[in-house]
Structures are given as C-alpha cells and as structure tokens.
C-alpha cells in the first residue's frame, strides 16, 4: 500500500509517519514538506517552500490512502487567509487530486467543536473542510476530532501557556479531562483507521481521559 502523509512535521504527522514507515503493510510513504526529512528506504520526500507548488506531483504519486494532519493557528500563519490556506484549501486540493488518481481512503485530523455554521473562525473553518471533504467521494473517510493535543512541541500555544500561568487549578481540571497525548492515544487508532479501505465515513471524537 502506498500512503501520502500531509503535515508530517507536526505533532500528529510525525507519529503517523513513524508508524507508516515501520508498518509491514505500507510499501511506500510519500511526504511533501517544506524542509527535507531524514532518508528512509520507504520514504519519498518532495520538498518545496510552499506545499501548493507540489500539487501537480500528486498526479504522478498514485497513492492508495492519504493521512492529512495539516494544521496551524491564525497567530502562527499570520492572518485568517493564510490559516485558511493551510487548514482548508490545501487539504481539499490534495484530496481531490489524490482521489482523481485512485486513492480510496482519506483520514483528516479536524478538531472538537468543528462546525461549518459556527460564528467563530477556527471551528467554522474546521467544520467547512470536514463538510466539503465528504463531497470528494472517498470510499473510506475518517475524520478525527481530537481535543487539546498533548506532546512535545517546538512552539508554545497561547491557551496552554495562559492556563498554566494564570489558573493552575483550572489547568489541572481541564487538561485532566480533555488532554489527548498523540503518541500514546490518538495516533494508533488514527493510523490504523486511515489505511482501512472498506466503504465508510466515520467521525471519531476524542474521549475524555
């Protein structure tokens, strides 16, 4: 099986990539990134400063399944338009081209509260990509809606820092119930479900832990 992983340098994507290159059922892993990755016998790593430059290459990759862990924040992206490019435009663009070339399975990392009818920009965008991904036509579509994702990051997210600094008790109570650690909890189910090719559309919300 040949798998395309989008967002392989992020917290979720890194974990999915490790599992993909070590999984016996996966023969080839294609990973488009902005920076080169360490080489692997199973890995093809296309590199470009902007991922949209690599879109035409999807026509030659001919993958069986796609794992999309692309995601950013408005603050990191610099604007709402740039955020939407990463979280909405690129996932759908890669999905449509991969589907045209025969991909049957797609797994999308969305978010708790994703709602196309929301009055807030972040959940609205997440809801819109979830809604529109269902229209692409994949035989198997898995939509994962994790809560706050725990794990080692290079950056600090504002809401985590704020909770920790200003309200330790709230942080202990909230994160105890809502935190999800990708390496231990989300990634195994995410990866195995992403590569199953039976017909289905499944939405998985992170259980409280």
66-77 residue pLDDT tens: 999 998 877 888
For 68-92, b/e burial (b = at least 16 CB within 10 A) is bbbbbebeeeeeeeebbbbbbebbb
Per DSSP, 24 falls in state T
Rg of the chain taking only CA atoms, in angstroms: 17
| 8 Å CB contact between 204 and 130 | no
CATH of domain 2-149+182-205: 3.40.50.720
Residues of the chain with pLDDT under 50: 156-190, 193-196, 208-209
Phi, psi of 140 (to 5 degrees): -130, 120
Give the model confidence (pLDDT) of 54-102 as tens digits: 999 999 999 999 999 998 877 888 899 999 999 999 999 999 999 999 9
Which CA distances in Å does 4 have to 7, 18, 20, 62, 129? 10, 13, 10, 9, 18
Domain spans in the chain, listed from the N-terminal domain onward: 2-149+182-205
């Amino acid at each position: 099986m040949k798998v395309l992983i989008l967002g392989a340098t992020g917290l979720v994507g890194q974990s999915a990539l490790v599992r993909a290159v070590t999984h016996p059922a996966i023969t080839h892993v294609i990973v488009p990134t902005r920076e080169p990755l360490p080489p692997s016998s199973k890995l093809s790593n296309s590199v470009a400063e902007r991922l949209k430059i690599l879109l035409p290459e999807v026509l030659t990759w001919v993958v069986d399944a796609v794992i999309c862990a692309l995601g950013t924040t408005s603050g990191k992206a610099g604007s709402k338009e740039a955020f939407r490019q990463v979280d909405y435009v690129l996932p759908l663009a890669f999905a449509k081209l991969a589907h045209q070339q025969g991909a049957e399975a797609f797994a999308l990392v969305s978010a708790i509260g994703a709602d196309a009818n929301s009055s807030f920009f972040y959940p609205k965008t997440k809801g819109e990509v979830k809604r529109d991904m269902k229209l692409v036509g994949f035989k198997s579509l898995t939509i994962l809606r994790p809560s706050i994702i725990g794990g080692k990051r290079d950056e600090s997210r504002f809401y985590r820092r704020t909770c920790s600094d200003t309200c330790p008790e709230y942080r202990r109570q909230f994160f105890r119930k809502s935190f999800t650690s990708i390496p231990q909890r989300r990634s195994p189910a995410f990866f195995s479900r992403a590569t199953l090719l039976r017909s289905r559309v499944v939405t998985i919300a992170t259980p409280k832990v």
